[in-house]
Structure 1
């Protein structure tokens, strides 16, 4: 349908009719019966994105379909790529060391909680903490 707004012409695509379902609810408006209904399915447009997974480019459409766009050719490695890889490796080592320290801290805290639970004579808590200790090991 061709429309005009403030001197600008544009095309509007007709909206497909929605299938309606009777809700079973009946109301009264100005003395007349009013039957309520709701749509069977409300279409939700999906976002259109250009994405890449393992070197293969693809695009999603508004209807949720996926269109392959072929394999992506990667450019040659940048001269500083080796430095970036070394930096990432150093960060990984730091994260591994941090994980070890964190695990050690958790074990120390758990041991302290076990001592307190045993001193109080709380057998249920002692069993729970021992199970947690076996999971952490």
Structure 2
């Protein structure tokens, strides 16, 4: 479709979504109709070997949970269904939290947060020292006492 925006012409090619028709249908004002749904692309899940309360298991790319035997062998016949997951307390949210906390991205994020909090503390200390030197040069003993108290609390 050709479009023009502020004198600039361009061709717009919106992404085409795959649509599936449902089996439900009916008639509306005498015309037959069917519901259509956008086909969802599955998001691949990370594959991890995890332990929950001493029970070893492994997640698959499809989000399923496989039991791991004592020897470290994964048995395909032991796929845990959703009701068993709920009974065992192993929901996908718990798995996601555990995977996110163990990922390299989470470690990098943690390191970045630690560095930024360290820099923040250094900036606060530098600001307090500057304010303290100004208060001392002005001879304001009340403010000097308050700033020293604030410095002792922040360190």
Normalised to the residue count of structure 2, the TM-score between the two structures is 0.37
User: Which structure's relative contact order is higher, taking Cα pairs within 8 Å and 6+ residues apart?
Assistant: 1
Normalised to the residue count of structure 1, the TM-score between the two structures is 0.42
The structure whose Rg is larger is: 1
